[in-house]
Amino acid sequence: MPRTEFYETAVQNGFYGLEKSGLFGKKDHVRKYWEDIHIKLSVREAAVEILKRKNRIRIVDLGCGSGEGIELLTHIPDYRSQEVPGQAFILKKKDIESYVGLDISPAMVSQGQKNYTGLDQIQFIEADLSQDFPLSNHPPFDLYFSSYASLSHLDHADLQKLTTQIFQHVDDVGYLVFDLHGRFSPEWPIYWNADAKRRLPYTMAYLLPVEQQSKETVDWFTVIYWDSEELKTLIKQAARQANRKCEIVLLKDRSIMVGRHMDTALFKPERFQFRLQVNRLFDRDYRGKPDILNMNLDYLNNYKSISQKIWDHFKEYSRNISLRSKNNSPHQISDLSFLQRFIPIRIKAVTRLEEYQNLWSLTISTLQAVMEKNTDVLKNILYSVDEKVAQELDSLSWLLTHSERFPVLDFWASIMGPQVACVLRNLEFNLPEGLGCGHGLFCVVKIEKYAS
């Protein structure tokens, strides 16, 4: 009998299961080639600036999980790599003087410790960030980092307190990175009119097979969903309380149409496959047709108007404004300023969603025009958009007309599909200042001490 023990063990260990990596799961292609890239590009300038001033960097990761932040920060592509051969990444593990990962979950902390055993400069500490900043006795950090919505777990007031304490902890210069759930994402229009400071349900059930994604049976927890106005107000107040100079150096919406819950029906009536389709585009074995990317977001029409209740509130406060300005209570002031901030941002967010939806459709139309060699349509599209968008779209046309220069087995699957996904990602990344209409609202703040 030939011996098969090795294969028995390999099968038992799961090495022979169906290989679907990239299309589904926590680390799918969109996470790797869209969301992670977005984060890396967003913190790149801050990392470069810190390393210009210092040889080694001090990092604290707020809600670190098992240390994902280390992988993100040590794999930021270096745009100077053509000038400095071998310099692929901005920050290497050896450039880290100290990385402290803070997380409330003992399992995450112990997994992080396992993942990075033997690296003395890396440590993981169990801590609840809704309490005081636990490292106020440590030397200041250069980068107070967070990724993938950890800080959305904190109440509004707790994040305000933590931000103030971090600002106070910063030495001459430091950066704080917020990565929060966006309040106006098309994934959860049921929340668009909700009170910004209220905790609302969230679930990670997108990781389950579709047939198990039932509202009644999945696990729910609550988080805060943020818009840019709420976040800017929080940052301003923290800066005032900590007596620090602050500048928002980057504010962006991430994953506007490819958020995980676009593909579930847990917060909205319909389930789409936008994320799955973009995962397939990134996949070098998949050959798709452009029309699979066409999107119909008509379901959002039912949510676009501002609820009557909010308008009524706003009108009532506005009507009484002169009376109240003489006889104000702090509660009334905050309600009014909330409404004055909320209504414009709510309108801007809906417009932004429509703008990005339009860019997405133009990408597909470009692709179709190029494939059909319809130069008139292509020209019309390129003339109708601004230069940056035209450059992105034109890259698709260039690729297809030069396809013979790429000696691959399947040009569409290996070159064209991934590039279409990159264009959709770049168009999102190049949108104006974020508002909170993506799955993630990403913000980098530079904090400085006032000169004494």
Ligand X SMILES: C[S@@+](CC[C@H](N)C(=O)[O-])C[C@H]1O[C@@H](n2cnc3c(N)ncnc32)[C@H](O)[C@@H]1O
Q: Give me the residues that bind ligand X (CB under 6 A), please.
A: 63-65, 68-69, 102-105, 108, 127-130, 147-150, 153-154
Minimum CB–partner distance for residue 360 and ligand X (Å) = 26
Of 130 and 374, which CB lies nearer to ligand X in the complex structure?
130
Minimum CB–partner distance for residue 300 and ligand X (Å) = 26
Burial-class residue 418 by CB neighbours within 10 Å (0-12, 13-18, 19+). Answer: middle
Minimum CB–partner distance for residue 64 and ligand X (Å) = 5
3-state secondary structure the chain: CCCCHHHHHHHHCCCCCCCCECCECCCCHHHHHHHHHHHHHHHHHHHHHHHHHCCCEEEEEECCCCCHHHHHHCCCECCCCCCCCCCCECCCHHHEEEEEEEECCHHHHHHHHHHCCCCCCEEEEECCCCCCCCCCCCCCCCEEECCCCHHHHCCHHHHHHHHHHHHHHCCCEEEEEEEEEECCCCCCHHHCCCCCCCCEEECCHHHCCHHHCCCCCCCCEEECEECHHHHHHHHHHHHHHHCEEEEEEEEEEECCCCCHHHHCCCCCCCCCCHHHHHHHHHCCCCCCCHHHHCCCCHHHHHCCCCCHHHHHHHHHHHHCHHHHHHCCCHHHHHHHHHHHHHHHHHHHHHHHHHHHHHHHHHHHHHHHHHHCCCHHHHHHHHHHCCHHHHHHHHHHHHHHHCHHHCCCCCHHHHHHHHHHHHHHHHHHHCCCCCCCCCCEEEEEEEEEECCC
Minimum CB–partner distance for residue 194 and ligand X (Å) = 21
440-449/244-254 β-pairing: antiparallel
Of 183 and 260, which CB lies nearer to ligand X in the complex structure?
260
Minimum CB–partner distance for residue 221 and ligand X (Å) = 9
Of 112 and 290, which CB lies nearer to ligand X in the complex structure?
112
What does the alpha-carbon distance between residue 286 and residue 170 come to, in Å, rounded to a whole number? 48
Of 153 and 254, which CB lies nearer to ligand X in the complex structure?
153
Of 68 and 392, which CB lies nearer to ligand X in the complex structure?
68
Minimum CB–partner distance for residue 179 and ligand X (Å) = 8
Of 141 and 356, which CB lies nearer to ligand X in the complex structure?
141
- In this structure, the dihedral spanned by the alpha carbons of residues 200, 204, 208 and 211, taken in order and rounded to 10 degrees, is 10
Of 63 and 434, which CB lies nearer to ligand X in the complex structure?
63
Of 62 and 90, which CB lies nearer to ligand X in the complex structure?
62
Minimum CB–partner distance for residue 148 and ligand X (Å) = 4
Indicate the residue whose CB is closest to ligand X: 65
Minimum CB–partner distance for residue 63 and ligand X (Å) = 3
Residue corresponding to tokens 């940056």? 388
Minimum CB–partner distance for residue 352 and ligand X (Å) = 25
Of 254 and 346, which CB lies nearer to ligand X in the complex structure?
254
Of 131 and 380, which CB lies nearer to ligand X in the complex structure?
131
Minimum CB–partner distance for residue 26 and ligand X (Å) = 9
